[in-house]
C-alpha cells in the first residue's frame, strides 16, 4: 500500500511502490487522502469541495499511469478531510497490506496530512512501514541496509519484515547502541548468522554512546557506510535503549536521510 496526496513527493513514493510491486509480483493499493475542508455556501456545507475532488481525480490519473500493466493495482479515496478520519482510515487500509509506504512529514511544506501520520500508522496498524524522506532520490533499496539491533521484539519484527526488501547479495550492517558491549556483540553476531541463512552478509558493530545524541550517532553511521535503507523497531511507550517514550522513533522520523523501515 502507498499513501498518495497532492505533495511533490507523491511521485517518488509511487515510483518506489511500483518498483517493489513489479519485482515481487505483488498487488499495489494506492490510498489517496489529505487534509481538506467542506465547501461552504452560507451555512450549508458540501463535501467534497471542488479542490479536493480535483486533487483526487489528479491522483487517480497519476496512479493509473504509473501502474499501467501492473496486475492487481487499485486506487482508493479516503474521502474525508479531518485529521482524525485520515489517521483512522489510512491505518485501517494499512492493516490489509504486507508493506505500507508513507512519506516523511516536511515541516516546511504545505501540511497536507497530519504530522504524526507515519507514527500513528507504524504503532497502530501492526504492519511494517517504509517511510520515504522528503528529500533525495532512491533508485534502489536494500543493497546496503543498516539494521539498528537491540534484540527486542520490535527489532526482531523489523528484521523479519525487511528480509523481502534485502537482496540476496546485499551487504548489511548490524549496529547496536548498547552499554553492555559483550552482550550486544553476541546478539549482533547471532543476527548476522541468521541473515547469512538468507544469503545476506552482515558486518557487526557495537557503539557505546551516552543518552544525548544516540539517534544522531545512528544516523551518522547510516551516512558513513553509505546505507540505502535503515531498518529498526518502532517504539511508543517504551523506547530504544536510553531513549524513553518513543523519542528515538520520532527523532528518526524527523531527521531521516534514507528510507526507513519501521515495525512495532
Q: Is residue 22 part of a domain?
A: yes
The answer to whether residues 254 and 155 belong to one domain is yes
Residues 101-125 pLDDT 10s: 999 999 999 999 999 999 999 999 9
pLDDT in tens, 83-100: 999 999 999 999 999 999
How many domains, in total, are found in the chain?
Answer: 2
DSSP 44: E
CATH number at residue 186: 3.40.50.620
* pLDDT band at residue 39 using 50, 70 and 90 as cut-offs: low
Residue 240 pLDDT more than 80?
Answer: no
Mean pLDDT of the chain: 91
102 and 151 co-located in one domain: no
Please measure the distance between the N-terminal and C-terminal CA atoms of the chain and give it in whole angstroms: 17
Distance of CA 254 to CAs 1, 119, 159, 264, Å? 22, 11, 22, 18
Query: Helix, strand, coil: what percent of the chain each, to 5?
Result: 40, 20, 40
Q: Which residue has the cell 487517480?
A: 60
Check whether residue 13 and residue 128 sit in a common domain: yes
Domain around 81: 2-132
Domain boundary among 64, 98, 132: 132
Amino acid at each position: 500500500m502507498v499513501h498518495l496526496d497532492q505533495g511533490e513527493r507523491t511521485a517518488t513514493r509511487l515510483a518506489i511502490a511500483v518498483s517493489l510491486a513489479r519485482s515481487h509480483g505483488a498487488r499495489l493499493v494506492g490510498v489517496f487522502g489529505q487534509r481538506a475542508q467542506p465547501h461552504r455556501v452560507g451555512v450549508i456545507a458540501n463535501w467534497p469541495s471542488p479542490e479536493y475532488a480535483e486533487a483526487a481525480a489528479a491522483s487517480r490519473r497519476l496512479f493509473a499511469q504509473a501502474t499501467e500493466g501492473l496486475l492487481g493495482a487499485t486506487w482508493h479515496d479516503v474521502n474525508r478531510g479531518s485529521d482524525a478520519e485520515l489517521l483512522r482510515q489510512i491505518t485501517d487500509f494499512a492493516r490489509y497490506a504486507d508493506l505500507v509506504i508513507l512519506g516523511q512529514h516536511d515541516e516546511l511544506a504545505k501540511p497536507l496530512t497530519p504530522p504524526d501520520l507515519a507514527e500513528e500508522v507504524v504503532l497502530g496498524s501492526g504492519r511494517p512501514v517504509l517511510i520515504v524522506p522528503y528529500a533525495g532520490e532512491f533508485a534502489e533499496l536494500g543493497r546496503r541496509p543498516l539494521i539498528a539491533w537491540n534484540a527486542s521484539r520490535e527489532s526482531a519484527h523489523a528484521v523479519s519484515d525487511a528480509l523481502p526488501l534485502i537482496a540476496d547479495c546485499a551487504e548489511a550492517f548490524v549496529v547496536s547502541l548498547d552499554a553492555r558491549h559483550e552482550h550486544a556483540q553476541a546478539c549482533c553476531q547471532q543476527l548476522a548468522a541468521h541473515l547469512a541463512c538468507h544469503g545476506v552478509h552482515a558486518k557487526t558493530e557495537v557503539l557505546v554512546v551516552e543518552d544525548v545524541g544516540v539517534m544522531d550517532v545512528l544516523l551518522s553511521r547510516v551516512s558513513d557506510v553509505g546505507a540505502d535503507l535503515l531498518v529498526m523497531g518502532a517504539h511508543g511507550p517504551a523506547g530504544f535503549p536510553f531513549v524513553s517514550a518513543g523519542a528515538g522513533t520520532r527523532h528518526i522520523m524527523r531527521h531521516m536521510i534514507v528510507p526507513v523501515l519501521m515495525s512495532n
